[in-house]
Every structure is written in structure tokens, then in C-alpha cells.
Copies of this chain bind each other. A is one copy, B any other.
Amino acid sequence: MKEYTQLIEEMLQKEQWPSAPQNLYEPITYILNQGGKRVRPHLCLMAAELCGGSAMQAIKPALAFEMLHNFTLLHDDIMDKAALRRGMPTVYKKWNTNIAILSGDTLFAKAFEQMLRYEGANKDLLLQLFIRTTIEICEGQQYDLDFEMMEQVSGDTYIEMIRLKTAVMLAACLQAGALVAEADVPTQNLFYQFGIQMGLAFQIQDDYLDVYADADRFGKQLGGDIAENKKTYLSLMALQTAEGKDMEQLKYYFSKVDFDKQEKFLAVKHIYDQYQIGEKAMRLIHHYYNTAMDLMHQMNIPDAQKQTLKQYADLLIGRDF
């Protein structure tokens, strides 16, 4: 893992960014240098190696996905009015909305350019995968924005939203690695499907941890989603199953944001507990995780490689269940 991190950071640093216009390229290097976990390029490099290729063969697609991911962050932060990202002011706050739009557009274009520089196997398929993924991510973000305006959203619709917004990029990174290494077609697809299942598990776990994490280990305050009335798998399930006074209470608490945060958190969590919402979410996380493992076992790669993939997935999902 450390070798991947080193390779990714080294190659990102090697990227030559023009110095002008400064207001276009400074925000790009600002967000790229903030780090983050680099999950997407990691997945791409790892999949290439697991399929018998080398990390170096996959570095350009890997960096392209990392750039694409950061482009989506630049624009999402405007739409979500997010002031902070990775503990630092977002580009739209530090500069302004116009600069965040335009440096996002440029980073998007640079991601494509990076992908075009790749000269190995399956280039056309990689480009198609890349562009289809981009479009799906936009669709996912649009559904997410739409949901904010809706009173009730079904569980299935929510899952489809997080599939598009989060899971497809993880899936595409894994498939890209398999494409680079010229894995057989069923294995390529299994990597993609594995990524979808892990992505869904990861996102629902994210929803779960906001309420049920061990506060000391979580690293941020619990109940952030609840305080902001964010639609999560848990809140949707609760709004689907709560009855009578509980339902009234939920609707009351989710109707505005100016409550005492701790009081609201405890009240909502109390209702979640009564309806076993945490358990329901955990069952779904298990379901996606187990499906991912089934898919993994069907991959045409050595067993030792499957263990590596499983370890990374467990690490990613911070699995202690």
C-alpha cells in the first residue's frame, strides 16, 4: 500500500501545471495537494497488479480517476455550500464560485487528457469506461440534489443514487486496472461488480457510523447528518417504518436545523433504536459485503491475490464486524 501511495504522490507531483492564469491553476494544485486517502488510484493500481500487470502500467488511468474525483469535489462543494474539505477551506470559499466552476472544468479536461496519454492495452474501452462513469456521477449528484427537495425517498431510489454518486467510480477504477492488465472479460466485469457492492457497503456504513460509531475512534462528531437533516439510509428507513408519535417526532426534528444538536441527536437515535434501524443498515452492509466476496471468489486470479483484495476492502470499510 505504501508503495502505491508513494508512486501516486510522486507522479502527481511530476504533473506540470501552467503558472497562468493563476486563478485557474492555483485552486487545482491546492485541492490535489490536500491529499485525501487516494482510494481511487489505489484501487486502480492494485487491480492491475492483482491481474498480473504492473502498477506503473496503470498509473495514468489511476491519476486520471484521482483528478476526476477532485473535479467532482470542486463542483460538489459549490452545490453543497461546503465550507471545509479535508480540514481546509474549500476552493469556492477560499476563492469564489466562478473560480471553483472554472478550475473544476479545467481539472475535468485535464483528467481526460491524462487518460488520453495512456498508451497500453484496451485504451478505447478505458476511455469509454471513464466517460460513462463521469456521466453517471453527474446523474448521481443530480439525484442527490433532487432528494433534498423531496419529502420521502424510497430505499431503492436512495441505493440507486449512492450507486451512481459513489460506487461507480470505485468500480470503474477497479475495472480500469483489470483492463490495463488485460484480464479476461468476466474478471474485468467481476472487478466492476465487486466495486459496486463495496461502494454501496462503504456508503451505507458511512451513514451508519454517523449515528453508531465509537465516538473516540470516529474522528468527528457523531450526528452530523442528523443535525443537517441529511437523507441517509437510516433516516429514510426510519421515516418508512416509524409509527404514531415516533413518526411525528421524526418529522418534527427533520423539519428544521436550529435545534440543540445533542438533544436532537439523542432523540432521533432513540427512535432509530426502537425500530432497529441500526441493525437494518448493518444487515444491508453485510449483504453488500458478502455479495462482493462471492464475486471476488469467481475472479480468475490466484487465491493469494484475492486475499490482498479482501484485505484492502476490509481496510477501506474499517470492518470490525
Q: Contacts A113-B135, A128-B116; is A79 near B102 (CB within 8 Å)?
A: yes
- Interface readout for A122-145 with B: 1 if CB under 8 Å, 0 if not? 001001100110110011011101
- B146 touching A23 by the CB < 8 A rule? yes
- Counting chain A residues whose Cβ lies within 8 A of the other chain, the interface size class is 35 or more
- A21 touching B146 by the CB < 8 A rule? yes
Q: How far is the CB of A156 from chain B (nearest CB, A)?
A: 14
- B128 touching A21 by the CB < 8 A rule? no
Contact of A142 (CB < 8 Å), options: B24, B75, B108: B24
Q: How far is the CB of A145 from chain B (nearest CB, A)?
A: 6
Q: How far is the CB of A119 from chain B (nearest CB, A)?
A: 10
Q: How many copies does the complex hold?
A: 2
- B106 touching A135 by the CB < 8 A rule? yes
Chain B hits for A132, CB < 8 A: 113
- B138 touching A105 by the CB < 8 A rule? yes
Chain B hits for A112, CB < 8 A: 112, 131
- A138 touching B75 by the CB < 8 A rule? no
Chain B hits for A280, CB < 8 A: none
- A145 touching B102 by the CB < 8 A rule? yes
**Which B-chain residue is minimally distant from A141 (CB atoms)?**
B102
Contact of A101 (CB < 8 Å), options: B21, B75, B134: B75
Contact of A23 (CB < 8 Å), options: B21, B75, B127, B142: B142
- A143 touching B21 by the CB < 8 A rule? yes
**Which B-chain residue is minimally distant from A112 (CB atoms)?**
B131
Chain B hits for A99, CB < 8 A: 142, 145
Q: Is A110 an interface residue (CB 8 A)?
A: yes
Chain A residues 7 to 38 lying within 8 A of chain B, measured CB to CB, are 18, 21, 23-24
**Which B-chain residue is minimally distant from A72 (CB atoms)?**
B105
- Interface readout for A92-115 with B: 1 if CB under 8 Å, 0 if not? 000001110110111011101100
**Which B-chain residue is minimally distant from A127 (CB atoms)?**
B116
Q: Is A213 an interface residue (CB 8 A)?
A: no
Q: Contacts A116-B128, A146-B23; is A138 near B79 (CB within 8 Å)?
A: no
Chain B hits for A146, CB < 8 A: 21, 23
Q: How far is the CB of A73 from chain B (nearest CB, A)?
A: 13
Q: Is A317 an interface residue (CB 8 A)?
A: no
Q: Contacts A21-B142, A23-B142, A105-B138; is A98 near B79 (CB within 8 Å)?
A: yes
Extra inter-chain contacts (18) besides given A78-B97, A98-B145, A106-B139, CB under 8 Å: A21-B139, A21-B146, A23-B142, A24-B142, A75-B101, A75-B102, A79-B98, A101-B101, A102-B138, A102-B145, A104-B105, A105-B105, A105-B108, A108-B109, A109-B138, A113-B128, A113-B135, A116-B131
9 closest Cβ pairs, A-B complex: A24-B142, A21-B142, A106-B138, A109-B134, A79-B98, A113-B131, A109-B135, A105-B138, A112-B131
